[in-house]
Amino acid sequence: METAVKANVLIDARGSFCPGPLMELIRGIRQAALGETIEVWSTDQGSRKDIPFWVQKAGHELIGMFEGPDYARFVVRKRR
């Protein structure tokens, strides 16, 4: 899975169950600086809905969601 997006921070949450990857993303966003990007890897089925929903609700930007055969990758920019 190659993409042009290069995130500032990578969170490998594979193997973590719902709502683990979302919680790790929230923690990562809190620690990040404004404008930084965070990439989360997740094998949890719930993440595919929960992460984009949270990102929109929390006012950040979902730069991309990349589905792979084994896990999904989400790239998020901290906006506030």
Partner 1 sequence: MPNRLSMVVFSGTVDRLYPAAIMASGAVAMGMDVDIFLTFYGLDAFRKGQPSTNTKMDVNYAELAPMLAQLMREKNVPSWYEMLRIAKEMGKVRVHACAMTLDLMGLKKDDLDPIIDDVVGVGEFVSQAKEGEITLFL
- Active site (annotated) includes residue 57: no
Q: How far is the CB of 43 from partner 1 (least distance, A)?
A: 11
Q: Is 59 left (phi over 0), alpha (psi -120 to 50) or beta?
A: left
Q: Is the CB of 3 or the CB of 56 nearer to partner 1?
A: 56
Say how far apart CA 12 and CA 40 lie, in whole Å.
6
Q: How far is the CB of 22 from partner 1 (least distance, A)?
A: 5
Q: From the list 12, 17, 49, 68, which residue makes contact with partner 1 (rule: CB under 8 A)? A: 17
The length of the chain is: 80
